[in-house]
Chain A
Amino acid sequence: MERQILIGGEAGQGVAKAATIMGKAFVREGFYVFNYRDYPSLIKGGHNFNVLRISAEPVSSHEFDGHDVVVALDEKTVRKHAGEMKKDAVVLAPNRVNADSKLSVDTENIIRELNAPKIMENIILISAAWKYLGMPFESLEKTILEELKNNRTAVTAAKRGYEEVETGKVMGTAPEKRARYFITGSQAVAMGAIAAGIDLYIAYPMTPATPVLHYLAAVQTEYDFQVLQLENEIAVANAALGASYAGAMTMIGTSGGGFALMGEAMSLQGMSEVPLVAYLAMRNAPSTGVPTYTGQGDLKMAVNIGHGEYPKVVVAPGDPKEVFERTLEAFYLAYKYRVLSIIISDKHLAESTYTVDGFSPRVEPERFIVEDVPEDYKSYEITETGVSPRAVPGQGDAPVRATSYEHDEYGYTREEGEWAIKMNDKRFRKVRYIKEEVASLEPVNTYGNGDKVIVSWGSTKGAILDALKQLDGWRFVQVSYIEPFPAEQFLDAVEGAERIVLVENNVTGLLGDIIAEKTGMIIEEKILRYDARPFTPKYILRRL
């Protein structure tokens, strides 16, 4: 049993909130819900919509058509989406909105009678839709109270909306009601960072990384850490390195444009070996691109960020469960190996809400600071693993030094070739050990067991998994660590394939290039989408 609901209206009419409430209420009833959010770059007016896909089975994608119900807060929603509706679908809308197959809800009268704010139309309409789908009012009521800070008027308004329509397309009941998580990729990064022990999150606002800034800022006092917004991304990156050098577990967050500005500081990370975690939420690019829409065009920038050569970690989670777990891994690897860990996500993963059964982190991050600082402490001691024991300034009597110049073990500037070799070798010696760790962190995952293989990374996972349900003879190989690249695990996963297709949300197939570089394997067949929209199962099925 699957249903798809589109909720649309102007920015400022509460479209996203209505979708969150309705989605969460369905999860409460035991269903899996995927909630896609679509909005242009403006604050009031325009056209925003959410698509909720609801199923008794796990679901992690939506379609842009095949809606069973359209909740229209304005007439533009009808005009834009009527053609995408199923034949037997209905529109739930206020009296003022003209539409075919419409179930009218007298929202204006209810608002007037309850003396409620106009924005509450969203609650009245989703409640009517809830009734139309034959769902019990109680779970919706509980969700409204949770999401709207115990607003009793909203519940009364919802009750009125619920009474406005008759039950139509009954959803039925889910096989099992159990506790599940309803969470976006952004929320999962934020919670992962907190679980990892974050002390400072430093950022400059940029869509679609901004929600992490907001979530973390909202809970900083509860979890006793701090969120700082500095003057620009360059300040953010440099201050973050200063903070991490001085002992704070630090994460920065931005999107492609901001990360490009941070490039030089990332190179400073490489030379100074001060641990750092960076959250990179991609959007459509190049340049300002289509700023509130999605894309996977920054993969090579992440892998190659900053001038010069230095080891780093790039991890690409595919859904909020993985985002949470991989964020912990990013902190663990950054602080244990004194490297840069980049968590690469995108608008689709950051702002869509997924239903998650549970989480199972593989690592426990810590500060990785020495217990006692020896008198003759060397900030860049040359060791077998390439990792120099980490101390922080003020910890012991010995100075702790970090530098952008090539240096000796004490961190003093050295221009002799001999030191350049010694220190480059030391830095790159870590890679072997990081690779061993990564191998134990499921860097490549395979779903299904056909002889034909889809290869992809990141947020495309949701649509691919749902497409796989309708495919015979296919398996999906998901690459989650891009750097260091798990070449062996990847080759094992695609072994014996009679056909390999690369799926990426970009113009040229960036993972394909990296696979070619790291393994020599060239994937000729590519399904690439670059209209700034995410993949859907139908899109993949049509192109296969």
Chain B
Amino acid sequence: MRVNQNDLNTPVENTWCPGCGNFGILTAVKGAIADLVNEGFAELKDFVLTADIGCGSKIYDYIKINGYYGLHGRAVALAVGIKLANPELKVIAFGGDGGLLNEGIAHLVHAARYNSDITTVMHNNQVFALTTGQATATTERGFRGKSTPLGTFEEPLNPITLMIESGATFVAREFSYDVAHLKETLKAAIKHKGFSIIDVLQPCVSFHDTTEYFRKRIYRLEDEGHDPYDREAALKKAREWGYDLDPDARIPVGVFYINDEKMAYEEGWPSIRKGPFWKRKRERRWEDTIRKYVVV
């Protein structure tokens, strides 16, 4: 059955600010899922999303597919668990830079290290927005917010180098207002076997408006002949921009790194490999299990 991306709409009123960068992500995600269903990659009922807490994570309420709206920082851990229970599902974890790189960074790093076959979408607005504008791990140095009136002294974290070094096997960056490219990269990420992540630069019109900054400095990696299968080249490209809002920067977007060779986490486990647990009839008799400890 063909799916139109509008079939994925929900009755829930959208509460993002007018002009919010998240709208572009929402449109791209719905488009990517509809395309993948229509191209026969998977059935709609096999898509599952998990969501963190934050503005971007409200996407749970705006897409009509299976979903688990979790805790702050834990969307990736939830997604890892879902995939372990049923490797046939296509699992996409949504979270912000705060959830993924502050509160839940351990899960992000380890899921990449496991090469869990899930896709993570980072709504990276470089600010805690739903809590009205505090610095996160990707906020530029010197940011003055309500919790940091003296300005921040810390350097931002670079999620692209972090993810490549952690073992992620598909690492990309996109710009939320470039919906067409974001959709194509999402499709490639979801199709990828192993841990994929897209760092989506998503300006926050209320607390961290970087729209013009990005528009002037972004260029596409494929336009400059970048080979995503070259890990050293990927790291070099990733280091071109360090998330400080350096006026002289050029900001590469597109796919930095792909590794198709590495085994996905779920493939390592003999019982998980057999498919969804819920379809299995367990016929273990309790007398047989406890017999291990009988003394005769």
Contacts and interface: CB of A to CB of B under 8 A. Distances in A.
Interface in B120-142: none
B71 A230 contact: no
Given A238-B70, A247-B278, A328-B286, A179 B294 contact: yes
Contacts of A223: 284, 289
Interface string B83-103: 111101100000000000000
Interface string B275-290: 0111110101110011
B61 A195 contact: no
In the complex, the 4 A-B pairs of residues with the closest C-beta atoms, listed nearest first: A242-B81, A247-B278, A239-B81, A248-B85
Interface in A266-316: 268, 272, 274
B284 A197 contact: yes
B78 A239 contact: yes
Contacts of A220: 271
A79 to B, nearest CB: 34
B92 to A, nearest CB: 12
B77 A234 contact: yes
Contacts of B78: 238-239, 241-242, 245
A168 interface: no
Given A191-B290, A195-B290, A394-B88, A241 B81 contact: yes
15 contacts: A191-B290, A202-B81, A226-B84, A228-B84, A231-B106, A231-B110, A238-B81, A242-B82, A242-B85, A245-B78, A246-B81, A248-B277, A249-B277, A399-B66, A412-B12
A16 to B, nearest CB: 16
A527 interface: no
B45 to A, nearest CB: 5
B13 to A, nearest CB: 10
Interface string A172-208: 0000000111110001100100110101101000000
A225 B271 contact: yes
Q: How large is the interface on B (under 10, 10 to 19, 20 to 34, 35 or more residues)?
A: 35 or more
Given A195-B284, A195-B289, A404-B69, A246 B86 contact: yes
B12 A187 contact: no
Contact of B71 (A240, A265, A401): A265
B90 to A, nearest CB: 10
B295 A181 contact: yes
A197 B282 contact: yes
Interface stretch (B46-54, B237-245, B246-254): B46-54
Contacts of B71: 238, 264-265, 268, 404
Given A194-B289, A405-B69, A397 B45 contact: yes
Interface of A: 24, 27-28, 179-183, 187-188, 191, 194-195, 197, 199-200, 202, 219-221, 223-226, 228, 230-232, 234-235, 238-250, 264-265, 268, 272, 274, 324, 328, 359, 361, 367, 369, 392-397, 399-405, 411-413
B272 interface: yes
Interface in B174-223: none
A403 B60 contact: yes
B171 interface: no
B271 A224 contact: yes
A224 B270 CA distance: 8
Contact of B294 (A181, A195, A197, A274): A181
A186 to B, nearest CB: 11
A397 B71 CA distance: 26
B153 interface: no
Contacts of B89: 246, 393-394
Contacts of B61: 412-413
A195 B80 contact: no
B74 A399 contact: no
B58 to A, nearest CB: 8
B229 interface: no
A200 B295 contact: no
Contacts of B293: 181-183, 187, 191
A361 B286 CA distance: 8
Contacts of A393: 45-46, 48, 66, 82, 86, 89
B231 interface: no
B84 A324 contact: no
Nearest to B66: A393
Nearest to A194: B289
A228 to B, nearest CB: 7
A200 B85 contact: yes
Contact of B289 (A191, A221, A242): A191
Contacts of A367: 278
Contacts of B276: 246-247, 392, 394
Nearest to A231: B110
B45 A394 contact: yes
A217 to B, nearest CB: 12
B80 A242 contact: yes
Contacts of B150: none
